[in-house]
Amino acid sequence: MKKIVIEGGYELSGTIEISGAKNSAVALVPAALLSDDIVTIDNIPNISDIDALNEILEYLGAKVSLHDKIMVIDSKNITNKEIPESISSKLRASYYFMSALLGKYKHVEMYFPGGCSIGARPIDQTLKAFKALGATVIEDDKKFIITAETLQGTMIYLDMPSVGATINTMLVAVKAIGETIIRNAAKEPEIVNVATFLNNMGAKISGAGTSEIRIIGVSKLNKGFTEVIPDRIEAGTYIIAGALMGNNLKIENIIPEHIETLLFKLNEIGCKYLLTDNSITISKSDKLRSTRIKTLGYPGFPTDLQQPLTVLLLRCNGISTLEETIYENRFKNVEYLNKMGANINIVNNQKIKINGPSNLIGTTVVATDLRAGACMVLAGLVASGKTIITDVDHILRGYENIILKLTNVGAKIYLEEE
């Protein structure tokens, strides 16, 4: 089993370069299958979620090369066969193959996707969209057999602005006949990245990034190129690290607009930083003020940053409240922060109260999921003594070279394999 060990208390200075966004890349790679030609995706992050997607691409018979972050995918000779549950259950994003294969072949057989255990995470909105576009969905235990004689564009209203359902609907609708309109679409930057890529291949999508997306179906998608946008959650995580332990820590390759809500919150609690068009330099601040945070879909405060931010809220004077509105089980980090000496009350499964300031002391903690793992890394950086984090595969799924990036700026952190 792999463990991350951190000796806390060291200042962070120097530069951290942000990688391509996990949640974009994991959709762009399956989207590539829709092309009848060769496509190229630049700035692919080196994370294990991408390895799992590659395994699926190769299993289907695609030719894939990945050098210097550039992935070239040739899916001219793929076979539309059932993806084994052992691979698809490794990550949430495997269901983007479900929609890409449905769009391309009008038939797909696949198992329920995996992903972090942070809530029930149903896929009813995706299935609703498939059905609205003309598909029949047969659910057999955890397996779905989805077939459409014709995919016909239509109006789809999503009950909630789901990132997955919005992308899945786009991936099918690009190959449907006529126009599809997605109402109450998610507005995350990752959706714009996927739509731009599809348009580059010849799709006709407008409105991505707003709550209404219009797609006019085309019969064929061709050669395409795109670049993965910088990971706003990875950026946010290292910005928080800078606010905790930074001495002019520079985070480079960011899109400030994508992290605006985090920056507003940093202003509110009293953090100081210097922002440019593509970087931020931040140092540790004292005398921070408490605040209230509520997670929401983009452009609201991202759920994926609430667990990392909790460590900074522990530094604030007074009681901060954090309300999680997207997932019903995303406070598993609290038990371990309290074990390290924090004073956090779980009010209910959607709200916690953080009583600050408190000092953390290193101990053994668990990365229960990806962002809880990032929270534990941040906690380890500020804690006195040694923090040992177990179950770190969750962290390596989504943070490229996290050990190296932090070591390079002065952290005492290493990976231990037993």
Which spans of this chain sit near ligand EPU (rule: CB under 6 A)? 23, 26, 92-93, 116, 119-126, 160, 162-165, 186, 303-304, 326-327, 370-371, 398
What 3 state SS string does 371-411 have?
HHHHHHHHHHHHCECEEEEECCHHHHCCCCCHHHHHHCCCC
Cβ at position 196, least distance to ligand EPU in Å: 16
Cβ at position 303, least distance to ligand EPU in Å: 5
In the complex with ligand EPU, the residue whose CB is nearer, 227 or 304, is: 304
Q: What are phi and psi of 373, to 5 degrees?
A: -65, -45
In the complex with ligand EPU, the residue whose CB is nearer, 13 or 117, is: 117
In the complex with ligand EPU, the residue whose CB is nearer, 23 or 193, is: 23
393 near 256, Cβ under 8 Å?
Answer: no
Q: How far apart are CA 22 and CA 93, in angstroms?
A: 10
Q: Which of 373, 309, 364, 319 is nearest to 344 (CA)?
A: 319
Cβ at position 271, least distance to ligand EPU in Å: 23
Q: How far apart are CA 308 and CA 371, in angstroms?
A: 7
In the complex with ligand EPU, the residue whose CB is nearer, 315 or 330, is: 330
* 316 catalytic per annotation: no
Residue of this chain nearest to ligand EPU (CB atom): 164
Q: How far from chain centre, in Å, is Cα 181?
A: 25
Q: Which helix (H) or strand (E) holds 413?
A: strand 412-417
174 near 35, Cβ under 8 Å?
Answer: no
Cβ at position 412, least distance to ligand EPU in Å: 26
Buried b (16+ CB within 10 A) or exposed e, 228-242: bbbbbbbbbbbbbbb
Residue of 116, 271, 316, 375 marked catalytic: 116
320 near 291, Cβ under 8 Å?
Answer: yes
In the complex with ligand EPU, the residue whose CB is nearer, 1 or 120, is: 120
Q: What are phi and psi of 206, to 5 degrees?
A: -130, 155
In the complex with ligand EPU, the residue whose CB is nearer, 227 or 324, is: 324
Q: How far apart are CA 212 and CA 277, in angstroms?
A: 28
What 3 state SS string does 131-185 have?
HHCCEEEEEECCEEEEEECCCECCEEECCCCCHHHHHHHHHHHCCCECEEEEECC
In the complex with ligand EPU, the residue whose CB is nearer, 360 or 375, is: 375
Other C-beta atoms lying within 10 Å of the C-beta of residue 271:
23
Cβ at position 385, least distance to ligand EPU in Å: 28
Cβ at position 70, least distance to ligand EPU in Å: 22
Q: Which helix (H) or strand (E) holds 29?
A: helix 22-31
Cβ at position 118, least distance to ligand EPU in Å: 6
Residue positions counted in the chain: 418
Look at residue 119 and give its three-state secondary structure: coil
In the complex with ligand EPU, the residue whose CB is nearer, 139 or 149, is: 139
Cβ at position 149, least distance to ligand EPU in Å: 24
| Residues that are catalytic | 116
